[in-house]
Structure formats: C-alpha cells, structure tokens
C-alpha cells in the first residue's frame, strides 16, 4: 500500500543529523546515533522473533553518519562510522520512529517506546 505520507525533502546535516520533510509538512530530525539504534536489519533485530539483537547502549555516542542513499523509492540506506550499512529504513518506519515531541506522545504502539534511548538526549524531550 502506498503510504499516504511521503518524504518531500531529505537533508543530511553534517555527520550528526538527518532531516526529513514530509508531504504533510511535518519535519523529522534524527540523530545518526538514534538511526543506528533503530536499525531493523537482520543483524540488529532477530528475523524470526523480532527481538532486538543490538544493545542500544553499545552504540558509540560519537557515531557519525557517513553516507545516505535512496533505496528504490521507498527507503533509505545509511552508512555509519562503525562500518554498519545493512539496514534498509523504509519511509514508513522512519516516520514511525520520528523523535519529535508530538510524534513521540502520539505513539500508539508501546513497542515504539523501546526505540527511545535513555542516553541519547535528542530522542528525549
């Protein structure tokens, strides 16, 4: 299903932040560390059980984003300074984990809460 909300602008801000403007005029600002912690690839989330494999706190606070590529027209792929790049971040997933106060407050699925990291200030209000 084509999700109703699509990105209209994608901006990599230095090596620390990434911004997505959405078709509904919402703007999401992600730290690259936060994105790394939310990686959904098979190395970071168990494919069968859906349980997280990656220990979120183990991601270095100095982690940087080195590259961003479009995957077809439905997702993004990030290259991080820890060498990890296997995650495919679909637009709908990125919107779901938008760290802004409004989205966080609205998150209906309690599962979403586990993506919020205590040590990452950008993900907290």
Partner 1 sequence: MMPVTKEQVLEALKNVQDPDLHTDIVRLGFVQDVKICEGSVAFEIKLTTPACPVKEKMQKEAEVAVRALPGVENVTVKMTAEVKSNLSPSKEALKGVKNIIAIGSGKGGVGKSTVSANMACAFAMEGAKVGLLDADIYGPSIPIMMGKPGETTIREDLIQPKVAHGVKFMSMGFFAQGDQPLIWRGPMAHRALEQCLVDVQWGDLDYLFVDLPPGTGDVHLTLVQTVQLTGAVIVSTPQDVGLTISMKTLRMLQQTNVKMLGIIENMSYHKCQNCGSREEIFGHGGAKTASEKLEIPFLGEIPLDIAVRLQSDRGTPLVVSNPDSPSAKIYRDIARALAAQISIASYSAPKLEIVETS
Give the one residue of 4, 14, 50, 58 binding partner 1; rule: CB under 8 A.
14
Joined tokens for residue 30: 């992600």
- Tell me which stretch binds partner 1 (CB under 8 A): 66-74, 93-101, 106-114, 115-123: 66-74
Joined tokens for residue 10: 């994608």
- Tell me which stretch binds partner 1 (CB under 8 A): 28-36, 55-63, 74-82, 109-117: 74-82
Q: Exposed (0-12), middle (13-18) or buried (19+): which is 97, by Cβ within 10 Å?
A: buried
Q: For residue 75, which of 96, 54, 53 has the smallest C-alpha distance?
A: 96
Closest approach of partner 1 to the CB of residue 125, in Å: 25
Residues near partner 1, by CB under 8 A = 1-3, 6-14, 23, 68-76, 88, 91
């Amino acid at each position: 299903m084509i999700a109703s909300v699509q990105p209209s602008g994608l901006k990599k801000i230095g090596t620390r932040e990434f911004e997505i403007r959405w078709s509904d005029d919402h703007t999401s600002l992600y730290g690259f560390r936060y994105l790394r912690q939310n990686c959904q690839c098979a190395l970071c989330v168990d494919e069968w059980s859906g349980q997280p494999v990656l220990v979120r706190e183990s991601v270095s606070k100095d982690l940087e984003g080195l590259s961003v590529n479009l995957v077809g027209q439905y997702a993004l792929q990030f290259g991080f300074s820890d060498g990890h790049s296997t995650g495919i971040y679909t637009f709908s997933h990125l919107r779901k984990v938008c760290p802004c106060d409004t989205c966080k407050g609205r998150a209906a699925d309690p599962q979403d809460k586990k993506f919020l990291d205590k040590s990452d200030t950008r993900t907290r209000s």
